Structure 1
Amino acid sequence: MPDIDIAVIGAGIVGTSTALWARMRGHRVLLADPNPPGSGTSSGNACTLATYACLPVNDPSVLTGLPKLMVSRDSPLAVSYVHALRNPRWMLSFLANCRAARARTIAGQLADLLSHADAGLNPLIAEAGAEDLVVARGQLSVWSTEAGAQGAEAGLALRQRLGIPFTELSPEQAREMEPGLRLPIERAVHFPAARHIRDPEELVRRMHARFLELGGTWRQSTVTGTRAHDSGVEITLDDGTYTAGHAVLAAGAFSKRVRGAGAERLPLGTERGYHLLYAGEAARVTRPVGWGEGGFYAVPMARGLRLAGTVEIAALEAPENAGRLDYIARKGAEMLGPLPAPDSHWLGFRPTMPDALPVLGPSPTSERIIHAFGHQHLGLTLGGLSGRIVTDLAEGRQPNLDITPFRPSRSFAPL
């Protein structure tokens, strides 16, 4: 008989959500990570439950703008030339998914998943007693140039067709909503269903604490490998070995480092994201505000004002890019007026597949190992739902939504 029912590898928002869902259903659960729960990529995001964010980074404009993206210091998307040459298959697959028809398909698949996101996360927020961390003021998106405003038209029209609610605002209405904005406003949209979390790391910590209260097992240890067999999965940690009925791989961008779990066969890449934190400036905005041309968010949170976002496609182990931090600081001042020196900065690693869709389903190596990673910008938003889905799979139950587009066995570069 296995030592435990479900072993969860990774204690970010996805892994901790999975562990809590599974324990709430009465399973014997082991959660393992070498780092404290929520301290990795889950700690530094833009704090937003972005149920509207179905438009993938795979945009047709990338196809025409790629040469500039590799050299420009004034773009929200940066691509490492060296990394692209070392990973040609990933880059070609990424670009194949930037075709207009394919990007529309991806948006529809993400919209379907996002429509269930709150139902996956809300029960965990309630279970963890974390309602005080949730702010329901929607999200404001603004564009500061005529070209940007026109460029947003296709994406907004697609969102409208996909049933995502939003309200068009005049520049005056946007300024009334957020008087701290200093940039020109050509177009503004409010997404009323969006919420934000005052401290994402604290949310994961509370979920983890509730998991322990319910009798879950925690090991702050590295999972070095897995070995599946007919009756279960052998999990090897730094400090021992366990047998489990099922294992869930939710180690984000580091999932390929777990030997034998099957992620090493998949084209898992990394979108590196940055943020700056200004401890005394949270009052600059009252809700998450995204600047379209800038490619980042200004978010009021418990720790201060966080300017978070941009995308850097580069190696997981590449050094911190000071140019990305400088970009956010410069653009932040354009957006909100002069800012003091930031109190801290951060680099995190968004796990990203070349089609911008998460991986949810049985591993190529065994149905006893379930994958739950690749959520790119949507880990906080989709973590609770992903945890519920993979718990269903471990129980042999069919989730109440179609997860076929997210299966690990899919083609990542469709013709």
Structure 2
Amino acid sequence: MADYDIAVAGAGIVGMSCALWAQMRGHKVLLIDPEDPGSGTSYGNACTLATYACLPVNDPSVLSSLPSLMFSKDSPLSLSYAHALRNPRWMLSFLANCRAAPARRIAGHLADLLSHADAGINPLIEAASAQDLVVERGQLSVWSTEKAAKAASDGLERRRALGVPWREVDPEAALEMEPGLHLPIRRAVHFHAARSLRDPQEFITRMHRAFASLGGATLRAKAEAVSASGTGVELLAGGQGITANHAVIASGAFSNRIEGAGTRKLPLGTERGYHVMFEDEAHRVTRPVGWGEAGFYAVPHAQGLRLTGTVEIAALDAPMNTRRLAYIARKGAEMLGPLPAPSSEWLGYRPTLPDSLPVIGRSPQSDRVLYAFGHQHIGLTLGGITGRLITDLAEGRQPNVDLAPFAADRSFA
């Protein structure tokens, strides 16, 4: 007899969601992670339940503006050339998916999954008694140049065609909504259906508390290896052997480091993201505000103002890039006026496949091993629905979402 029904490797928002959904369904669940739940990449996100975020980083505009993105000091993209040379297949696949046809296909798949996001996370918010952390003021996107404002049109119309609601807001109204903005506004769009969280770390902490209260167990250890058979799986974590009916690999950017999980051959990359916190400055904005040209968000957080975003394509173990932090702080001052010295800085590792779609489903090697990783910028948004879908699969249910686009054995080019 197995020790557990389901063992989940990874306690970020995706792994924690998988564990809580399974425990809510009455399964005996073990959550495995060497760190506190939510203290890794999930800790530093943009606090936004971004149900509008169906446009992938893989976008045709990346190809047309690649030189300026790569070489401008004011670029929201940073690329390690050494890392790119060591991973040419990932880079070429990523760029291939920036073409118009793949980008449209990817956006459609993401929009379909995002349309179920609220149904996935709302039961977790209730179970965690976290309703007080949810803010329903939408998200405001602004562009400060005519060129960028016009360039945004195709993407916005693509979102609308895929069922994402948004409202055009004139510049004066945008400043009434967010009087703390100091930059010129040429265009503004309000994604009014979006929500945000005052403190994602606190949300995950409460999720874990609810998980434990329902009988869920936690092992503070690193998941090192998994071995599957026809009747179950055996995991090695912290030198301890554990048996379970199913294992869920939800370790984010580290998911391909678990021996025997079948993930090593997958093209899992990392979009490194940064944030800068300013204590006692949360009043600068009243909802997440994205500045299109600068590629980052200003977010009101329970602990202050969080400026977060940009993309750095570099090795998982590369040192923190202080130029990224300086860029965000500099652009933050342009956006909101003079800011004090940051109270903290942070680097996280967004797990990304070259087509910007997550891997959700069964391992091609064994139905006993389930994959739940690669959610790039929208792990917080998609964690809940991923947890529900993974629990469906573990139970042998037919999910109400087509998981073929997220299969591990799909073509990534």
Q: Same fold (TM over 0.5)?
A: yes
Q: After the TM superposition, which residues 152-301 of structure 1 pair with which residues of structure 2 at under 5 Å, given as runs?
A: 152-301=152-301
Q: Which residue number in structure 2 is paired with residue 406 of structure 1?
A: 406
Deviations 1:349-406 (A, max 9, x none): 0000000001001113211100000000000000010000001001111111111111
Answer with 165-174 or 237-246: which moved more. 237-246
Does 2:55 match 1:42?
A: no
How big is the shift at 1:70? 3.2
Where 1:142 maps in the other structure, the secondary structure is: strand
Matches of 1:136 and 1:64, distance apart in 2:
36
Partner SS state of residue 319, structure 1:
coil
Letter in 2 for 1:381: T
Q: Equivalent residue for 2:385?
A: 385
Match of 1:104 in 2: 104
Cα offsets for 1:175-230 (capped at 9, x unmatched): 01100000000000001110100000110010001101110110010111000011
Counterpart residue type for residue 24 of structure 1: M
Question: One-letter code of the match for 1:99?
Answer: R
Name the structure 1 match of 2:51: 51
Aligned length in residues = 413
For the residues of structure 2 that align with 1:144 and 1:64, how far apart are their CA atoms?
Answer: 20
**CA RMSD of superposed structures (Å):** 0.8
Q: Under a length normalisation based on structure 1, what TM-score does the superposition of the two structures give?
A: 0.98
**Which digits, 9 at most, give the CA deviation of each residue in 1:248-275, with x for residues without a partner?**
0000001011111111110000000000
Q: Secondary structure at the match of 1:264?
A: coil
Other-structure match for 1:373: 373
* Distance apart, 1:170 and its partner CA: 0.5
- TM-score, length-normalised on structure 2? 0.99
Partner of 1:350: 350
Q: Give the aligned partner of residue 394 of structure 1.
A: 394
Q: Which residue of 2 aligns with 1:329?
A: 329
Gaps of 5+ in 1: none
Secondary structure in 1 aligned to 2:34? coil
In 2, Cα distance between the equivalents of 1:241 and 1:22? Answer: 21
TM-aligned CA deviation for residue 239 of structure 1: 4.2
1:33 corresponds to which residue?
Answer: 33
CA distance in 1, matches of 2:398, 2:72: 46
CA offset digits 1:302-334 (Å, max 9, x no partner)? 010000000011110011001100100110011
State the secondary structure of the residue aligned to 2:90.
helix
**What is the one-letter code of the residue matched to 2:364?**
P
Q: Distance in 2 between matches of 1:401 and 1:393?
A: 11
SS at match of 2:264: helix
Once the two structures are superposed, what CA deviation does each residue of 1:113-166 show, in whole Å capped at 9, x if it has no partner?
A: 001000000000100101111000000000000001011000001011111100
How many percent identity over aligned positions?
Answer: 69
The 2-side partners of 1:355 and 1:132 are apart by 35
CA distance in 2, matches of 1:269, 1:177: 37
One-letter amino acid matched to 1:84:
A
Q: What is the one-letter code of the residue matched to 1:315?
A: A
Give 1:78 shift.
1.4
Letter in 2 for 1:75: S
User: Residue 384 of structure 1: SS of its match in structure 2?
Assistant: helix
Amino acid at match of 1:4: Y
1:126 aligns with 2:91: no
Return the alpha-carbon distance in structure 2 between the equivalents of residues 82 and 153 of structure 1: 35
Partner of 1:92: 92
**Aligned partners of 1:310, 1:230: CA distance in 2, in Å?**
44
Q: Is the 8 A contact 1:271 1:314 kept in 2?
A: yes
Aligned to 1:4: 4
Report how far residue 287 of structure 1 moved.
0.3
Say whether the 8 Å CA contact 1:228–1:234 is kept in structure 2: yes
Structure 1 counterpart of 2:21, one-letter code: W
| Secondary structure at the counterpart of residue 294 of structure 2 | coil
**Partner SS, residue 65 of structure 2:** helix
Contact 1:250 1:373 in 2 (8 A): yes
Quick one: which amino acid aligns to residue 398 of structure 1? Q
- Amino acid in structure 2 at the alignment position of 1:231: T
Deviation at residue 69 of structure 1 after TM alignment: 3.2
Partner of 2:147: 147
